[in-house]
Every structure is written in C-alpha cells, then in structure tokens.
Amino acid sequence: MPAKIFELLDPPSTDYVDRRFKGTKEEYYERLGASSTLYVGNMSFYTSEDQVYALFSRAGHVARVIMGLDATRKTPCGFCFVIYDRREDALAAARYLNGTSLDERPIRVDIDYGFEEGRQFGRGRSGGQVRDEFRTDYDSARGGFGKQLVKQIASQGLAVKEMDGGQVAFVPVPQAWQAGGGGEEGGGGGGGGEGEPSAKRQRVEGGGSGGGEGAEAEAEAEAGAKPEAEAEAEAEAGAEAAAGEGEEPQGEEPEGEERREEEAMEEGGGGDDGAD
C-alpha cells in the first residue's frame, strides 16, 4: 500500500508510452513501476554523452548512458536513455530534471520500462525520430526542417539557407547540383556542356596523362611516315630509270618497309587510345 501511494505522489512526468512494447498493458506498467531507466527527449543533435552524464549525475550515480542514433547514418538524433543504479535516483531525476535546460534547450525526462538492444535507433522513415519526419518548424539544433518538408522543398529546386539571427531563406539550387554535380558552381558537374571543350583542351595542351601519350604517339607515327614517303619516292625514281632502259619495274617495296609500316600503325593506334 505505501508503495502505491508513493507512485501516485511521483507519477511518470509525462504521458510517455512506448507503443512498440511487446507485452500487455499490465506488464508494461509493472516494468515501469520497477525501472531505474529514464528516457530523455527533445535533445539537441549536438549534445554529447559527457554533457548528459554531467547533468544526470546530480540526481545519483549513473550506471550507463545510451545515446539515440539515426538508424541510417548512425549519428545522434536527439534522445538517449539514462540508467541509474537505484530507482530512487531515477525518480528524483524524472521529477527535478524534466524541463530543465541542457545545451540551451528544455529536455523531456520520463521513467522508461527499460532499455533493450535496438531501441537506441530512430524509428522514422529517414532513420531519425518520427517527430522529425513531419515537423514544419525550423530547428537548427535538430537538423532544420522536418525530413518530409525538406524533400518537398528540394523537389521545387530550392534549398534552405540559414541567415543571421536564426532566420532562414529558400534559395535556388544551381542546376549543376541538381544534375548530380558536386563541389562549387559548375565544379564537379557530370554531363555539363563544358565536358567536350575540356577534353579538346587536354588534347591540344597535353593536359592529362592520356593526352600526353597521344601527342607522343602521333609524333612517333609522323616520324615513321617520313622514311616511308622517302622509300616510295626512291621506288618511283628507280621505276622511271628502268623504264628508260627498257626494263619492267619490279613492283616490290624496299627492304624493311612492311615492318616500318606495322610499327607506325601500332604507334598511331596507341596515340588514338590515349587521346580519347
């Protein structure tokens, strides 16, 4: 009887209920009545585990702090569990620390039925908390606007820019970014109109490794073509001399010409590959 009176005098600070509890309502409140674990909500994404320890240690010895994480990014997403050695300390913390300021924002503190593996991850569609999926207000300490609103803004080709004094503005997103390019304006854009001129400049200036190899191969191919032209001129001169003497031209290429021709073709082929 005294225990029941005590719990009536110190009920859970809010109407917090975990709707995914696997058990009956009676089992839920039975575990809640014996728990020394707290659920802490409305935290900044930037609040550290050390800050949580420092605040909640004022109510008693903290056995463990489990930071809530975005299920996708594995980064803090604004809640945690605080486990005390004694239930009395957990009740005192829920009573006196609920609504207090942590990292310049009021936190929500409730008695929780007990931490279980997996509860540290957000349950929202995007990986964070459900409340952050549909928020329409701007909260810089919790990722700005709600996730669904951010998607709607992005679908209109806009981005959110935080201004001085906590004000926000909607600014157009550069088309290069919308096309998948990153970095600075026009900087890492893929498929932009400047792709071809850039490749041409590489061929002319020898800007890349492929461009340099192509220029060298072309020079070698031209050098190999000169002996070929000279050999053809000599063959024609010999044919004319033979014709003048009443002999038929032989029609055979000078010795080594086929090899030079193949080498020139191979070198020319490598140059084309390098330039592309």
Q: At 50, which CATH number?
A: 3.30.70.330
In a domain, 65, yes or no: yes
pLDDT in tens, 92-118: 999 999 999 999 999 999 999 999 999
| Enclosing domain of residue 273 | 206-238+256-276
Looking at residue 152, its pLDDT comes to: 72
Write the DSSP symbol of residue 139.
Answer: B
**Axis crossing angle, helix 257-275 with helix 209-244, rounded to the nearest 10:** 150
Looking at residues 205-230, what average pLDDT do you find? 51
In this structure, are 90 and 172 located in the same domain? no
Looking at residue 146, its pLDDT comes to: 66
- Burial (Cβ within 10 Å: 0-12, 13-18, ≥19) of residue 205: exposed
Looking at residues 204-229, what average pLDDT do you find? 50
Kindly state the tokens that stand for 149. Answer: 């609103």
Residue 171 scores a pLDDT above 70 = no
Looking at residue 234, its pLDDT comes to: 59
Looking at residue 252, its pLDDT comes to: 42
Give the model's confidence band at 133: pLDDT under 50 very low, under 70 low, under 90 confident, else very high.
confident
pLDDT in tens, 16-57: 677 788 889 999 999 999 999 999 999 999 999 999 999 999
Number of structural domains the chain divides into? 3
Write the DSSP symbol of residue 251.
Answer: -
In this structure, are 105 and 8 located in the same domain? yes
Query: Taking all residues of the chain, what is their mean pLDDT, rounded to a whole number?
Result: 70
Query: How far, in Å, CA of 8 to CA of 204, rounded?
Result: 85
Q: CA of 272: how far to CAs of 49, 194, 205, in Å?
A: 59, 22, 16
In this structure, are 26 and 92 located in the same domain? yes
Kindly state the tokens that stand for 148. Answer: 């669904």
Residue 218 scores a pLDDT above 70 = no
Write the DSSP symbol of residue 144.
Answer: B
Write down the residue that tokens 């010409």 correspond to.
257
More confident: 238 or 147: 147
pLDDT in tens, 136-164: 788 888 887 767 777 776 777 766 666 56
